[in-house]
Structure 1
């Protein structure tokens, strides 16, 4: 098992980024590696980080302005070779269809519920790391 996994967190709201970090903790589940977070507040920062590589999972805030996480997800799925799985933060459960449209692998509602978030993140880490193994 690799020593750490890198999770990119995209939100223009520092409080949302903090909620993500706190919900995941150092390790979202016992069978996945510890995580380190790469925080991005703008689309250019996200694209630059993905171009550099080494991202295991992306957490994208659907409520970010001016470019929301759903649009970013769809864009990176089209443009990034071997795009990491995406966990989308959605404003309400009724927006789950938009997460599907954006091609996100998972979605949780905002505000972040620590148990739901950690479960979803751990599932995506398992998926990504087993494929990359």
Structure 2
């Protein structure tokens, strides 16, 4: 198991980014690596970090402004070679079909519910480790 996993968190709302950090803790599950976060508040910052490489999972806020996480997800799935898995934060369960359209790998509901979120993040980190 690698020592750390890098998780990119995109939201224009610092409270949402904090909810993600708090729900994750040092690691979302005992069988996955500890997590380091890269926080982005703009779409341009997300693209810059993905170009730099080394991202294991992206967590995108579907309610972000000016570009929501769903549009951001679809764009990076189209444009980023070997795009990391994406956990999309959605405002309501009924938005799951939009997450499918955006090609998100998993979803969690806002506000972040710690157990649900940590489970979804850990699952994506496991999948990433198996595909490496």
TM-score by length of 1: 0.99
Q: Deviation above 2 Å: which 4+ runs of structure 1?
A: none
CA shift for structure 1 position 130: 1.3
Distance 1:126 1:43 in 2: 26
Distance 1:66 1:45 in 2: 13
CA shift for structure 1 position 75: 0.1
Q: Secondary structure at the match of 1:67?
A: coil
Query: After the TM superposition, which residues 51-90 of structure 1 pair with which residues of structure 2 at under 5 Å, given as runs?
Result: 51-90=51-90
TM-score by length of 2: 0.99
Specify the alignment match of 2:99 in structure 1: 99
CA shift for structure 1 position 12: 0.1
Q: Deviations over 1:91-117 (max 9, x none)?
A: 000000000000000001100000000
Gaps of 5+ in 1: none
Give the count of matched residue pairs.
Answer: 132
Distance 2:2 2:111 in 1: 30
- RMSD over equivalenced CA pairs, Å: 0.4
